[in-house]
Structure 1
């Protein structure tokens, strides 16, 4: 598989999010307040990374601008789609901004090992929460199937 360029990843990410929202290019262009042709070039990944357009797109599609940028950085357009609803990457970014405001220059003195362990613990906790949600959903579905189902009444 050939490595993708930033423009290709951005294009795929934008299309995934737009389609997830059930929006047309015309609707997104209108919400972004740009001409359709300008939006089409943006969605095609034909221009340099434009943070203003990414932010406008995120507002128009109610998605996660930071996840779109991160998707390009890590070469995984699906991250933008997966984070569109829960704003995962924006949440992590807010945490980073607050952490920077609290520690500032002291961040440089943190041991890389401590940072890695903390980040891994955060993601391990999220994976465990995902697993608990899946278990609860399966339990509820199974339990509902096991409940007696009375026959429908004919007198109603």
Structure 2
């Protein structure tokens, strides 16, 4: 596995010169909680990941195997939590039923249903399982949560053209 959420969080926090204590105070948890997130001892929820990113004035994303944070130049005051809708749209675009996604991820179908209705907030680890199954990336851009399908790589076939491949009139 590539860079985890915890390692990416630690890197951006240190890059921004923010202590664990300062970051923890701003999201109203104990500093040990930040250490546990960074050490991957706690399964962080999407909601808490968004809170951390907003405090650090960053967006975040996951692409195939690596987590990353990136600076946001402008943060919207009107943040919209559209995770549920975008998750459902990504699943439907890939042509999976909730049951099929459940079978691919190992996440209970009723849990996936609750994610899509916005009744339950998933952990980042479960979102990674879902994204891997749907062959997509995901992230938070400071305003909304997004999913994006991987572009399929088409093999380019070498076309050989010889003198006998042409028709002459």
Place the TM-score, normalised by the shorter chain, in its bin.
Answer: 0.3 to 0.5
TM-score by length of 1: 0.44
Report which of the two has the higher share of strand: 2
* Max Rg structure: 1
Q: Higher RCO, 1 or 2 (CA under 8 Å, sep at least 6)?
A: 2
TM-score by length of 2: 0.41
